[in-house]
Structure 1
């Protein structure tokens, strides 16, 4: 089925945001380990063996932090990652010199701190200030200080360009990754807000918003619009005899049949309990009744097997047609009346409202 997008206000769920952030931290630890492994080889090639060993130590710390994240020791992992970045940047700048550009990696800390899931915002400010202070201190103390390992101006220029490129690449990669995680979390929240968790059909609220949209379209184009209210026959008996787990299985099976058998432009929602409401744009009362009859036949073929016992399912359908200028309640109430007429006549049938 396809239908216009429905904008439903949703509440921010901290748990999903937190999960997205820690997925980002997984990537930080992995990228950090790979990056410092490359730097270990680079420093060894430049003759700065001390920094080569420091980078191998950093690889070890990032590997440990990844393991901590996997075992949900997030605080320890965060401390290791933050400490490594701050200390390593300071040591690299002091060892190779300010012109090497290793202080750029401190900038990577800023967006990570800002999007972190720290409970107290003051901690973000403190950590951001710490990064800023370290950057300023390095600028004032190291810029005009001779490095421990003197490199040629050509090598420094190449190294600075390399660090600039890596810093921008890291910022772009981490920002893109976090955006992707947030969009995925928002999509999940939107689905949760607009669908019934058991049947995965539209819930009542999202259906009513969609119906309002279709009523607006009907006023504009004067196309017919039909409503079909369906109810599973003897559903209470199924729950009482076999338990709610079996009742849920019946609801899922019926939901699947309804969603697959409807026209592409139609929409179906779990209206409540064992009731389902179908919206059929561009369908007359007669056309909607024919579709409802087809649905009734398909539902009648549904069998739910429980403990070698087969449960047969049937549904009764009430069909109504929207009349201009009336709210959604009008056709829904008439479909409900037609439905109960069908119940009174013996169930497992389609009844259309009287013209």
Structure 2
């Protein structure tokens, strides 16, 4: 499920990149229309006008999620424009360089047709080689001065370079965003947006190592929502989810900034408190208990009230993480047996 969501996010980002590319390319060709009319290269001005229309059409296709058609139109424009532009004013104009911009776009493109990318890349290669073989020495339709042609070639090299930088930067952002999304999915509980069990265990193991180095205290608070099964039975699982979200938000807001909070499992939560003695942890747990007890969770036409029981323990020298966790669990169990809605500190 997480993998599917990540792929969907990445695909959305890619098509967003194509959307921006169509916009930038269309604007570039609008500029070319004016440039070539000014230079008297009327044939090429008309070619660029056609390019503007094709990019506008691909833009509309992307908006309507006709993605494959949009890619086809962009490919048609790039190939057609390169061929016609080189034929119109000559190979030395450098318009064939724009074909190179398509390569990274095709490589990172998302398509469900396996043969699409290799066929398009091979087509691009053959067109480029064919243009070099056939058009390099052909006389152009519109003859420009050597100085103008050189300036145009350097301009096209610069624009190609800038487009490659833009695409590379956008792709880096795409990958970084996908990695961040994966990291969030791997470390957080989707319902409460708190850390998940595995993630907090990793943090706890790190804090244990730090404690050994610096002799700093480390406290654990294990908390459980009282009578949570009754809430689910009476109001339904949607109500239970609403309670979990509300309790999670309360715990997050009432805890210290440096504390780490995780949904430990079901209706259980674990709070890791670096640099906290047992007395400090008990005071924090009592504050959390009071905040949760005042909580009112609206659901449909009713208001659900909840309470929590807390077990507190601290890490002792040379212990593994499981030891204080087990003591916190035992203290929590003691609180449940003693009537719930209370804070119990481990005596070990």
Please give the TM-score of this superposition, normalised by the length of structure 1.
0.93
What's the counterpart of residue 86 of structure 2? 93
> What is the correspondence of 1:185-196 to structure 2 with a 5 Å cutoff?
185-196=178-189
Q: Distance in 1 between matches of 2:298 and 2:14?
A: 43
What's the counterpart of residue 84 of structure 1? 77
**Deviation, structure 1 residue 122:** 5.3
Q: Distance in 2 between matches of 1:310 and 1:157?
A: 76
Helix, strand or coil: the match of 1:72?
A: coil
1:311 maps onto 2:295 in alignment: no
Helix, strand or coil: the match of 2:270?
A: strand
Helix, strand or coil: the match of 1:149?
A: coil
1:36 maps onto 2:29 in alignment: yes
In the alignment, which of 319, 333, 340 is matched to residue 326 of structure 1?
Answer: 319
**Deviation, structure 1 residue 120:** 6.2
What's the counterpart of residue 3 of structure 1? none
Helix, strand or coil: the match of 1:144?
A: coil
In the alignment, which of 35, 39, 42 is matched to residue 46 of structure 1?
Answer: 39
Helix, strand or coil: the match of 1:160?
A: helix
Instruction: Identify unmatched segments of 5+ residues in structure 1.
Output: 1-9
In the alignment, which of 235, 240, 247 is matched to residue 254 of structure 1?
Answer: 247
**Deviation, structure 1 residue 26:** 0.8
What's the counterpart of residue 167 of structure 1? 160
Q: Deviation per CA, 1:248-298, whole angstroms, max 9, x where unpaired?
A: 111111111111111121100000111000101111111111111111111
1:177 maps onto 2:155 in alignment: no
**Deviation, structure 1 residue 117:** 2.0
1:116 maps onto 2:109 in alignment: yes
Q: Deviation per CA, 1:139-165, whole angstroms, max 9, x where unpaired?
A: 222222111100011111111121111
**Deviation, structure 1 residue 309:** 2.5
Q: Distance in 2 between matches of 1:138 and 1:311?
A: 74
Aligned partners of 1:24 and 1:177 also within 8 Å: yes
Which structure exhibits the higher relative contact order, with contacts defined as CA atoms closer than 8 Å and separated by 6 or more residues?
A: 1
Which range moved further: 249-258 or 307-316? 307-316
1:133 maps onto 2:130 in alignment: no
Instruction: Identify unmatched segments of 5+ residues in structure 2.
Output: none
Aligned partners of 1:20 and 1:182 also within 8 Å: no
Aligned partners of 1:105 and 1:167 also within 8 Å: yes
Helix, strand or coil: the match of 2:244?
A: helix
> What is the correspondence of 1:202-351 to structure 2 with a 5 Å cutoff?
202-351=195-344
Helix, strand or coil: the match of 2:344?
A: strand
Q: Distance in 1 between matches of 2:156 and 2:271?
A: 59
Q: Deviation per CA, 1:304-354, whole angstroms, max 9, x where unpaired?
A: 123443222211000011122222221111111111111111111100011
For the aligned residue pairs, the C-alpha RMSD in angstroms reads 1.7
What's the counterpart of residue 5 of structure 1? none
Aligned partners of 1:233 and 1:315 also within 8 Å: yes
Q: Deviation per CA, 1:165-189, whole angstroms, max 9, x where unpaired?
A: 1111111111111211221121112
